[in-house]
Structure 1
Amino acid sequence: METTYFRFDEVKEGTPAYERYLAARHEVFCEELHRVDPTGLMASNGQAIETDRYDCHSRHFLATHKETGSVAGFARVILPSEMGLNVTPRYVIDDPLPYPGATADRIGEISRMAIAARYRRRHSDQGKPAHGDPESEMLRKPDGFRRHQPELVLGMYREIYRLCREVGIDYCVAAMDNLFSRTLTSLGFPFVAIGPVNEQVAPPRRVYLISATEMERSLGAREADVLRFMQAWKESGEAT
């Protein structure tokens, strides 16, 4: 799907777009944040890429800035499989979970999600839940004056939501720091902490769980415009 400034596509293994997505993952997670060890693998064009054993059990999304064609963000959803989820061996997760229906075959994981540095919002962009011109508001601003672009973040979560509804995943987990989880909660996304903070990762993070049904209820009650944005794919008739 598209928004005012961004295009969102699912990328498939073996395509140039998929290699571009893996290269962007390396740039953010290996080079910038140093959260993931480099794999030493290269794309067909010689760019370093980041990949792991969960990729073959995942669906992958790439966001691009429509005007320039540059990578703006990306994410994957790890689907239920015999491999399990990436958070399971690294975080303590409460048992039982807060939703009785949250069984292993109905839980996916939002993973490797990031916004490219040049598309992170300015602090003064508060109060713009879905739009903002990347050129005037972010690309020419120093890092200390930018935060996540709201249209971009919501667009990524819309693709994740659409995929989950289409494949029958009713819940997703994600490892997040407290700041990002509070930001999403303030927008009406009811992420619930389901375990203690892991102080061994940087920044310290814990696992959160979200229910698609609870998200629809919460957004419908608090942020009707955001819910309409999230469900625009239903009206357009687009399919993944």
Structure 2
Amino acid sequence: MISEKHSFDNCFEVFLADTPESKRIHYNLRYQVYCDELGYEDKELFPQQLEFDEWDQHAEHFMVRHRYTGQWLGALRVVSPHRQRFPFEEKCEADQPLADADYRGAIEISRLCVLREARRFAPRILSQTEPDPASNVKYLNTLRQQSRSIMWGLYRAAVDYSVEQGIEHWFILVAPALAYAVKKQGFEMYQVAEPCEHRGLRTPYRLDVDHILQNPLWKEDYQLGYRRYSELEQGNYAVRQRA
């Protein structure tokens, strides 16, 4: 059972970046993770500290912030196919070429990132003077769960967006650890190509939106819909509630 105090909905909120300013926030979050923290991208290519690529013009961008401090902590984009192509196809060769139907009603989820800074928002279960090793392990697990919670919150926003847009399938290109976490949560993933080398081993999968919606994860938390950043700029703080 999730404590209401520490639930995602109580601590965080998700926005769709629908203005130039909000997209800059999104791209900077990616810069902090992919350039500063992980070194996946060359900083010199992004002197304005905004990490983006050619697929962003075919994408919608989401980001999550801490509800009480206003600090932005994570991001994700959903990419529509362009010229019968998804980003993952540039890195992995599909077992069978995707059919026209595979591109209709489908998106690719990519650029999922959570700042290391998100760790400090994990609920403190360990006092400064408590040396108990078991408590230390529990605290480290809580830090991991916090990052995972932000990830699920971003995924839930992408699910809501998919339903609104009539999108039926997702493609994702993920490392083994993330694939394991998604499968462990009970989401069915269908491998669509052999693993490839891209910043380490990555494997492409397809997920069905209807199946994602049925996951018990959403019954206890992640009940609030995402908002558009333009609503925030206009001072409209009404939360979009799902029917």
TM-score w.r.t. length of structure 2: 0.75
Q: Which runs of 5+ in 2 are unaligned?
A: 1-7, 129-135, 227-238
Q: Which runs of 5+ in 1 are unaligned?
A: 122-132
State the match for 2:208 in structure 1: 211
State the match for 2:155 in structure 1: 157
* 1:72 maps to 2:79: no
State the match for 2:218 in structure 1: 226
SS in 2 for 1:82: coil
Identity %: 20
- Taking the aligned partners of 2:109 and 2:190, their CA distance within structure 1 comes to 14
- Taking the aligned partners of 1:120 and 1:185, their CA distance within structure 2 comes to 23
Report the residue type matching 1:61 in the other structure: F
Report the residue type matching 2:37 in the other structure: E
* Contact persistence 2:168–2:210 (CA under 8 A): yes
SS in 2 for 1:103: helix
Report the residue type matching 1:59 in the other structure: E
State the match for 2:10 in structure 1: 4
* Contact persistence 1:77–1:160 (CA under 8 A): yes
State the match for 2:41 in structure 1: 36
* Contact persistence 1:63–1:73 (CA under 8 A): yes
TM-score w.r.t. length of structure 1: 0.75
* Contact persistence 2:105–2:167 (CA under 8 A): yes
Query: Can you list the C-alpha shifts for 1:139-158, whole angstroms capped at 9, x where unaligned?
Result: x999x933142432221111
Instruction: Name which one, 1 or 2, has greater alpha-carbon Rg.
Output: 2
State the match for 2:191 in structure 1: 193
Query: Can you list the C-alpha shifts for 1:97-127, whole angstroms capped at 9, x where unaligned?
Result: 7xx9951122200010111112259xxxxxx
State the match for 1:27 in structure 2: 32
* Contact persistence 1:80–1:106 (CA under 8 A): no
* Contact persistence 1:22–1:50 (CA under 8 A): yes
Report the residue type matching 1:91 in the other structure: C
- The structure with the largest helix share of the pair is 2
Report the residue type matching 2:81 in the other structure: P
Select which of 172, 175, 178 maps to 1:174: 172
* Contact persistence 1:115–1:148 (CA under 8 A): no
* Contact persistence 2:60–2:78 (CA under 8 A): yes
- Taking the aligned partners of 2:28 and 2:225, their CA distance within structure 1 comes to 28
Question: 1:228 Cα deviation (Å)?
Answer: 6.4
- Taking the aligned partners of 1:237 and 1:64, their CA distance within structure 2 comes to 16
* 1:60 maps to 2:52: no
- Taking the aligned partners of 2:78 and 2:240, their CA distance within structure 1 comes to 22
SS in 2 for 1:114: strand
Q: Residues 3-152 of structure 1: matches in 2 within 5 Å?
A: 3-15=9-21, 17-38=22-43, 40-43=45-48, 48-82=49-83, 84-95=85-96, 103-120=102-119, 134-136=122-124, 145=140, 146-149=143-146, 150-152=148-150
State the match for 1:127 in structure 2: none
* Contact persistence 1:177–1:205 (CA under 8 A): yes
Change (3 A) 1:152 1:106: same
State the match for 2:230 in structure 1: none
Change (3 A) 1:77 1:137: farther
Change (3 A) 1:5 1:80: same
* Contact persistence 1:170–1:212 (CA under 8 A): yes
After TM superposition, what 4+ stretches of structure 1 lie above 4 angstroms from structure 2?
227-234
SS in 2 for 1:7: strand
